[in-house]
Structure 1
């Protein structure tokens, strides 16, 4: 298999696994709280990543970098999963995935502010258009009615932006993608320990299907997806060859939400989602200098 085919295969499997996390999270939350779900998902993922890391002979983190890994775990996994799990309780899989899809745009805005990475006028119009799409999602049911789930999900997108910057900093320190995600996930699981007792009690009374969804969320969308994403990046000539696959996630999560949960997005999701996805595509193609 040549490199281009590997990039396509690894990237598509990754976004499919990420898309599957939206409906599977809703299944798990029929029994588990947002925090308990986050703890179990992070713990399963951390154990699986440590196993993969052992097989790939990853190096241990330097002592001085451990606080940075805890910060990465806090933003990328602990706070992210609390916000994500809370937000999706009142959203369809489609709406949640569309809001999360604006993360690259938010990251680019922060990069413009802190790293002086330039965004041209097309980019700024695309950014404004994307947030107009978010307003459509927020206010579709009525101008005085704001879906709090979207606010929580926007929070998830924001904290994941912070993780992207910390990730970049750790990469500059010489850590590879597998090392970064493994130790960040482990730190995220440790920070979730405040939910240990409630999680144990919920596990005792959970049904087999709910436990299966937890194990799936920890191994596939968390551990394996991040590992394959790093592999795709290593084979790609350009980062965009991989990141452009993220545009497919909302479509896949919408289809999976319909198949698994019989969710039917409302017209606001279709209209707002179309605006957001179009603006993200234009931003990535034409918005950066």
Structure 2
């Protein structure tokens, strides 16, 4: 199988770009408040995608399918962005990525109910190991306390899980680029209620802050979600893609050190190692199949 035909590549690209979001959101919130930041991030993503849609001559979805795009935009961008930004501003980058990493578990459980998707025994075991890694990371880090930031991030994880299920359905109806673009357009339209505050805060922002917005809008939003939709369109089931979200704590820890000077602690290393063992176990069939086909 060629790399471009594998969902693994697209899923990994997405989690790398999403990992940047945890760090750059915290940097951006040194100036911007959470909700205006959400608007600025997605108006930037929308502007980029308008150019892509026009260049690629992508047609709008059919009228009968517009409600699906509206719900997708609400779950993946409006509700998710409000809860994500609110929670991220209250906890360190690595911690926020760990909480959001519970989304694959929620996604797997909901996919079992909604789409009747079944995971193999070792995949459920792998999911349990990954979740255990999250608990170890949290306990060792001394963050095992239900504070307001964690509650907001759990709400964001649930919203993202709903979005994942919708992507599985919608990428069977339309190509990934169209699904992503019009979902983001709907989400951005909902975020326009914060446009006034965003403009006032942007008026006094430094050039560095606009760079943060550009990274969040183009890389962590537009390109990341296009790649995510592409992964769902190629994967056999929802959980195979969403499981990649468990990798984000490590990549986030690296980016947090590089861009924000946040040194990974022992909790991140130990919990992270456990999570990576779970990720390997979950995808072991894929690894062995690829070796056999060579």
TM-score normalised over the length of structure 2: 0.82
Structure 1 stretches of 5 or more lacking a match? none
Match of 1:116 in 2: 116
Cα distance in 1 for partners of 2:10, 2:264 equals 29
> 1:98/1:66 Cα in 2 relative to 1: closer, same or farther (>3 Å)?
same
Match of 2:195 in 1: 196
Q: CA deviation at 1:98?
A: 2.9
> 1:238/1:153 Cα in 2 relative to 1: closer, same or farther (>3 Å)?
same
Match of 1:175 in 2: 174
> 1:253/1:13 Cα in 2 relative to 1: closer, same or farther (>3 Å)?
same
SS at match of 1:118: coil
Q: Deviations over 1:231-266 (max 9, x none)?
A: 5677x6878997776554332221110011110233
Q: CA deviation at 1:284?
A: 4.4
Cα distance in 2 for partners of 1:232, 1:145 equals 34
> 1:281/1:104 Cα in 2 relative to 1: closer, same or farther (>3 Å)?
farther
Match of 1:26 in 2: 26
SS at match of 1:205: coil
Q: CA deviation at 1:189?
A: 0.7
Q: Deviations over 1:60-101 (max 9, x none)?
A: 122222222111011111111112112222322222223323
Q: Deviations over 1:178-224 (max 9, x none)?
A: 11111110111111122122111111121111122112211111112
Cα distance in 1 for partners of 2:161, 2:48 equals 24
Q: Deviations over 1:139-196 (max 9, x none)?
A: 5466983343333222212111101122223233x21111111111011111112212
In terms of mean alpha carbon deviation, does 161-170 or 92-101 score higher? 92-101
The answer on 1:208 being equivalent to 2:217 is: no
SS at match of 1:59: coil
Cα distance in 2 for partners of 1:9, 1:130 equals 20
Decide whether the 8 Å contact of 1:49 with 1:223 is kept in 2: yes
Cα distance in 2 for partners of 1:167, 1:50 equals 20
TM-score normalised over the length of structure 1: 0.83
Decide whether the 8 Å contact of 1:102 with 1:130 is kept in 2: no
Cα distance in 2 for partners of 1:154, 1:278 equals 24
Q: Deviations over 1:29-77 (max 9, x none)?
A: 1111111111111111112112112222212122222222111011111
Match of 1:279 in 2: 278
Decide whether the 8 Å contact of 1:74 with 1:191 is kept in 2: yes
SS at match of 2:58: coil
> 1:133/1:228 Cα in 2 relative to 1: closer, same or farther (>3 Å)?
closer
Structure 2 stretches of 5 or more lacking a match? 286-294
> 1:270/1:118 Cα in 2 relative to 1: closer, same or farther (>3 Å)?
same
Cα distance in 1 for partners of 2:143, 2:217 equals 38
